[in-house]
Amino acid sequence: MNKIILTIIFTSALYFLPVSYSQLSTVYAAQEIKKSVKVPAMRNRVYTQLARAQQLADEGQKLEGFEVLGQVKARIDSLNSYEKAMLWNFYGFMYYGNNNLVLAIDSFQQVIAQKTIPESLRLSTLYSIAQLNMQLEDYQQTLVYLKQWQSLNNNSLTSEQQMLFAQIHYQNKSFELSLSAVEKALDLVQLQNKPPKENWLILQRANYYELKKPHKVTQVLEQLVKYYDSPTYWLQLSGMYGEIGEEALQLATMEAAWQAGYITKSQDIITLVQLYRFNGVPFKAAALLEEAIEQGKVVPSEQYLEMLAQSYLAAKNEKKSLPAFIKATAISETGKIDAQLAQVYMNLEKWSLAIASADKALSRKGIKRVGDMHLIIGMSYFNLKNYDQALIAFEAAKAVENSAKTAQQWSKYVKREQGHQAQLAMLN
């Protein structure tokens, strides 16, 4: 009777995948064991019962499968070490299929407790126990079993196995070790001319982040953008460019994300608006923000209306700033916006409107430079040739320290002009 090995096949990628009953496989022990290990043969009766348990499991009859295993277990003292190992191997598989990871681990530990079993079975079981412990988030035990497995494994680690080590080291906060394992895995797939797996790059980025290496984090995000065109990665890459002082690249990346339709959230739109302003393109900032407000993507709050108006001011387009300032002052609870609007009206030589806005700013309060409002009122009245009202305003401005000197100069000028106009009137 040929001896067999029954093993559970697990995934060794970043995350576990469910194991189906059909993944229980058999191979001939004679092809697997080392010549130096003398493994006892599995007797036909035991093999038949284990095969029957497997068949029931494959058919979804779990309880019946456990009953067959129970019959074998009832005479466990009569089984040789290899038969015991295979019995516990089946139990581990069945418990795993029932999502009972603790009993699955206990069963697999019984497998490796047997001394005379094929080394291939011992290796695969150690690896399975490590993965099950990882599912239970017992990372210390995972590492213990992985190291046991590695000490017996004569083959070089595959990229997936390197990544399993990388995950465990990361969970144990051994970031340098984790990073080393990730990069070995990435080197292996590069040799195969395959693209790096997304989760592997994510773990590499996480390690660099924990190690406070922002330039390396940025390089990994460049890879994620290249291979996995996700809006999240574009926005994160833009943010990292800003962190490492590459403002031009930060803007270019955000602008590319916007053109690709990846920027949809209000705060991301505002970030791009601010980048445009910071990089000296305020008209683009204003155009983008105005469009976003009109389309309902950004709420027309006082803050954003003020940002829109100021963007137009920075773009030397005071007229375009007026609608935003007017809307902002309608919802503002202070005179802050009125004060800015008064300045714009004065610059546009809309004297009466400048006076009205400045008066409103003073009455609503909450402004920092009160004297400036009195100056605007005084200069506007002067241009309307209302010299008496202008002088009253400048007297008020003199009472404020930061506007007193300017107000004094204007008062002298207004009085001279008032006198000059009086002389002209007498001549006429």
Please tell me whether residues 14 and 73 are part of one structural domain: yes
Examine the pLDDT at 9 and tell me if it is beyond 90. no
Examine the pLDDT at 394 and tell me if it is beyond 60. yes
Please tell me whether residues 428 and 370 are part of one structural domain: yes
Please tell me whether residues 313 and 399 are part of one structural domain: no
How many degrees, rounded to 5, is the angle at CA 40 between CA 132 and CA 150? 35
Please tell me whether residues 26 and 89 are part of one structural domain: yes
Please tell me whether residues 292 and 361 are part of one structural domain: no
pTM of the model: 0.76
pLDDT at 22: 34
Please tell me whether residues 383 and 310 are part of one structural domain: no
* Cβ atoms of 414 and 392 closer than 8 Å: no
Residues 325-349, mean pLDDT to the nearest whole number: 96
Which of 34-43, 114-123, 387-396, 411-420 is least confident? 34-43
Cα separation values, 295 from 19, 106, 211, 223, 273, Å: 49, 60, 42, 33, 15
Examine the pLDDT at 17 and tell me if it is beyond 90. no
Examine the pLDDT at 359 and tell me if it is beyond 60. yes
Q: What is the CATH number of the domain that holds 278?
A: 1.25.40
Final residue before a domain boundary, out of 65, 83, 117 = 117
- Domain membership of residue 403 (yes or no) is yes
pLDDT at 420: 84
Please tell me whether residues 292 and 273 are part of one structural domain: yes
% pLDDT > 70, the chain: 91
- Domain membership of residue 409 (yes or no) is yes
* Cβ atoms of 37 and 119 closer than 8 Å: yes
Instruction: State which residues form the domain around 277.
Output: 264-331
Please tell me whether residues 393 and 305 are part of one structural domain: no
Please tell me whether residues 402 and 346 are part of one structural domain: yes
Buried residues in 373-409 as b, exposed as e (16+ CB within 10 A): bbbbbbbbbbeeebbeebbebbebbbebeebeebbee
Domains in the chain, number? 3
pLDDT at 29: 35
- Domain membership of residue 249 (yes or no) is no
Report the distance separating Cα 7 and Cα 25, nearest Å: 6
- Domain membership of residue 393 (yes or no) is yes
pLDDT at 262: 95
Please tell me whether residues 76 and 5 are part of one structural domain: yes
Residues 364-392, mean pLDDT to the nearest whole number: 94
pLDDT at 123: 93
pLDDT at 26: 32
Please tell me whether residues 301 and 386 are part of one structural domain: no
Give the model confidence (pLDDT) of 228-250 as tens digits.
999 999 999 999 999 999 999 99
Buried residues in 98-117 as b, exposed as e (16+ CB within 10 A): eeebeebbebbebbbebeeb
Examine the pLDDT at 7 and tell me if it is beyond 60. no
Final residue before a domain boundary, out of 96, 117, 138 = 117
